[in-house]
Structure 1
Amino acid sequence: MPDVVVRKTIKSLEEIWHEGGPRAQKPYRRAWMLAVIKNPYAGRYEPDIQPFIDDLRPLGLQMAGELIEMLGGKENVQGYGKGAIVGADGEVEHGALWHAPGGYAMRELLGAEASKAIVPSTKKLGGVGARLDVPVTHVMASYVRSHFDAIEVGCNDAPKADEIALALVMTDGPRVHSRSGGLDAGDIKGEDGLR
Structure 2
Amino acid sequence: MPFEIRKIVTVKETTFQEGERVVTTPVTMLAVAAIIRNPWHGRGYVHDLSVEQKDGCAQLGQQMVDIILEEIGGAERIEAYGKAAVVGMDGEIEHASAVIHNLRFGNKYRDAVKAESYLTFTNKRGGPGTSIQMPLKHLHDAAARSHFLTMEIILPEAPAPHEIVVVLGASTGGRPHARIQDRNFDAAELAAEQAAAPV
- Structure exhibiting the larger radius of gyration computed from Cα positions: 2
Query: For this structure pair, what is the TM-score category when the shorter chain's length is used for normalisation?
Result: 0.7 to 0.9
Question: 1:142-157 alignment to 2 at 5 Å?
Answer: 142-157=142-157
1:8 and 1:134 map into 2 onto residues whose CA distance is 19
Report the Cα offset of residue 26 of structure 1.
Answer: 2.3
Question: 1:23-172 alignment to 2 at 5 Å?
Answer: 23-43=22-42, 44-54=44-54, 55-97=56-98, 98-100=100-102, 101-111=104-114, 115-172=115-172
2:62 and 2:50 map into 1 onto residues whose CA distance is 18
Question: More strand by proportion, 1 or 2?
Answer: 2
- Count of residue correspondences: 180
- Match of 1:131, as an amino acid? S
Name the TM-score, length of structure 2 as normaliser: 0.85
Paired residues of 2:87 and 2:163 also in contact (CA < 8 A) = yes
**1:69–1:3: structure 2 CA closer, same or farther, 3 Å change rule?**
closer
Paired residues of 2:11 and 2:153 also in contact (CA < 8 A) = no
Paired residues of 1:82 and 1:99 also in contact (CA < 8 A) = no
Paired residues of 1:34 and 1:154 also in contact (CA < 8 A) = no
* Structure 2: stretches of 5+ with no match in the other structure: 185-199
* Structure 1: stretches of 5+ with no match in the other structure: 185-195
Name the TM-score, length of structure 1 as normaliser: 0.87
Q: Say which SS state the counterpart of residue 24 (structure 1) adopts.
A: strand
Question: More helix by proportion, 1 or 2?
Answer: 2
Deviates more, 1:123-132 or 1:96-105: 96-105
Report the Cα offset of residue 154 of structure 1.
Answer: 2.8
- Match of 1:67, as an amino acid? I
Q: Say which SS state the counterpart of residue 164 (structure 1) adopts.
A: strand
Partner of 1:22: 21
